[in-house]
Amino acid sequence: MITRRGFLRLIGGSFLSMLSLGAYAVGIEPMLLTHVKRYSLTPPHWPAGLKLRVVALADIHACRPWMTPERIASLAAEANALQPDLIVLLGDYIAGMRLVTDQVTESEWASALSGLMAPLGVLSILGNHDWWHDHAAQRAGAGPTVARGALEGVGITVQENDAIRLEKDGHGFWVAGLADQLALRPGVEWGRTGFKGLDDLDGTLAKVSDSAPVILLAHEPDIFPKVPSRVSLTLSGHTHGGQVRLFGYSPVVPSRFGNRYAYGHVVEQDRNLIISGGLGFSIMPVRFGMRPEILQIDLG
């Protein structure tokens, strides 16, 4: 039978353990050296002679003290060191929470990202927070957003329902980017009762004018059930892997599909989706079991 002293020791030990775990999740894991998550796959119908390395960064959420311009610049250098053929940015550059010591302006984070370099270029899409925190765009119900202007100002192409054809070693392929699926948020001030997406999957893929493979960039992975097998690979962010992930399970996932599209490589009906765990965080500055990561994807 446990004594009173033993019970108090148990309670005290449990409290200290919880305090230590909380300190780790807030102060240590979010600031750990970035993990490079590597995937190697040959999607269906991928040309035999096309070997392509794509490096992806997602959900930067620039803010102080967590994601400063200096840290973003170091992430760009890490991405370059992976020797990618192509770099893609999967949206959410703007901070997604109020628990910060200071904001990082659009010009600051865009300047830090301007150091990204790859032979086939740097392509980007926008995320929900890049829209939600742009009040002029919310009032108008349309862009261009400040985030788009910041990226284009440093020479980074932004794809919103657009597709571009690239070529490597004599083989062509397409990169298609969707506008955000949650771009316009509800609010009395702009007369909307629900979220409205600006994505146009059919219209975007209609711009693909030949049979070359397609890589689709979609900030939220929830579009995936609608993506046709014509698309070789879909890349998404948004979920942050739930920010807390234990034994392959995330208790909270910002997706209507829950853990189905929380994180990692998903194959459904011979179609491939990779969801990044991202780099920053939103709502709360907590990461546990989900280190900040850069994706390295080797295709072919």
Q: Above 80 in pLDDT, residue 28? A: no
Label residue 99 by pLDDT band (50, 70, 90): confident
Across the range 15-44, mean pLDDT stands at 61
Across the range 21-25, mean pLDDT stands at 38
Quote the Cα angle for 37-99-255, to 5°.
50
Minimum mean pLDDT among 81-95, 122-136, 246-260: which range? 246-260
Strands 171-177 and 214-217: parallel
| pLDDT value, residue 113 | 98
- Interaxial angle between packed helices 146-153 and 106-113, expressed in degrees from 0 to 180 and rounded to the nearest 10: 40
Label residue 25 by pLDDT band (50, 70, 90): very low
Q: What is the pLDDT of residues 164-220, one digit of tens each?
A: 999 999 999 999 999 999 999 999 889 999 999 999 999 999 999 999 999 999 999
| pLDDT value, residue 96 | 82
Name the β-bridge partners of 175. Answer: 164, 215
Q: Above 80 in pLDDT, residue 30? A: no
pTM of the model: 0.89
Across the range 141-152, mean pLDDT stands at 98
Label residue 7 by pLDDT band (50, 70, 90): very low
Label residue 153 by pLDDT band (50, 70, 90): very high
| pLDDT value, residue 97 | 86
Label residue 17 by pLDDT band (50, 70, 90): very low
Q: Above 80 in pLDDT, residue 40? A: yes
Q: What percent of the chain has pLDDT over 70?
A: 89
Q: Three-class SS string for 6-46?
A: HHHHHHHHHHHHHHHHHHHHHHHHHHCCCEEEEEEECCCCC
Name the β-bridge partners of 165. Answer: 174
Q: Where is pLDDT greater, at 20 or 29? A: 29
**CA distances (Å), 177 to each of 34, 166, 192, 224, 250, in order?**
25, 14, 25, 13, 27
| pLDDT value, residue 20 | 34
Q: By C-alpha distance, which of 100, 106, 108, 153 is closest to 130?
A: 106
Across the range 120-124, mean pLDDT stands at 98
| pLDDT value, residue 8 | 39
Quote the Cα angle for 129-132-138, to 5°.
150
